[in-house]
Amino acid sequence: MSANNTSAFLADLPIFAEFEDVANLTRYRPLPDGWALAVADVVSSSDAIARGKYKSVNMAGASVITAVLNVPKGSGFPFVFGGDGAVIAVPPEGIAAVTTALAAVARWIEEDLGLNMRTAMVPLAEVRAAGHDVRIARFQANPDMTFAMFAGGGSAWAEAQMKQGRFTVQIAPPGSRADLTGLSCRWNPIQSRNGQIVSIIAVPTAQPRLDAFRTLVAEVVAVANKAGGFGNPLPVEGPTPHLTFGGVATEASALAPPGKRLKAKIKVVVAIVMTVLLYRTKLTLGSFNAREYAKQLTRNTDFRKYDDGLKMTIDVDAEGLAAIEALLENASTAGICRFGLHKQDSALVTCIVPSLRANDHMHFIDGASGGYAQAATHMKAKPVFLRAEPQ
Q: What is the DSSP string of 166-216?
A: TTBPPPPPTT-----TTEE--PPPEEPSSSEEEEEEEEE-SS--HHHHHHH
Pairing of strands 288-289, 284-285: antiparallel
Task: Name the CA dihedral angle for 239, 242, 246, 250, rounded to a multiple of 10 degrees.
Answer: 60
3-state secondary structure of 125: helix
Strand order through the sheet with 79-81: 79-81, 85-90, 36-42, 117-123
pLDDT (tens digit, 9 = 90+) per residue, 339-375? 999 999 999 999 998 876 678 899 999 999 889 999 9
Q: Which residues on neighbouring strands pair with residue 39, listed in sequence order?
A: 87, 120
**pLDDT given for residue 390 in this prediction:** 44
DSSP state of 8: H
pLDDT (tens digit, 9 = 90+) per residue, 4-48? 789 999 999 999 999 999 999 999 999 999 999 999 999 988 788
86 and 65 Cβ atoms separated by less than 8 Å? yes
pLDDT (tens digit, 9 = 90+) per residue, 220-270? 999 999 988 899 999 999 999 988 888 888 899 988 888 889 999 999 999
In DSSP notation, 168-182 reads: BPPPPPTT-----TT
C-alpha of 367 from chain center: 12
pLDDT (tens digit, 9 = 90+) per residue, 269-295? 999 999 999 999 999 998 899 999 999
pLDDT mean across residues, the chain: 92
Q: Would you say residue 143 has pLDDT above 80?
A: yes
pLDDT (tens digit, 9 = 90+) per residue, 174-198? 999 999 999 988 888 999 999 999 9
The CA distances from residue 201 to 98, 319, 348, in Å, are 28, 19, 17
**pLDDT given for residue 172 in this prediction:** 97
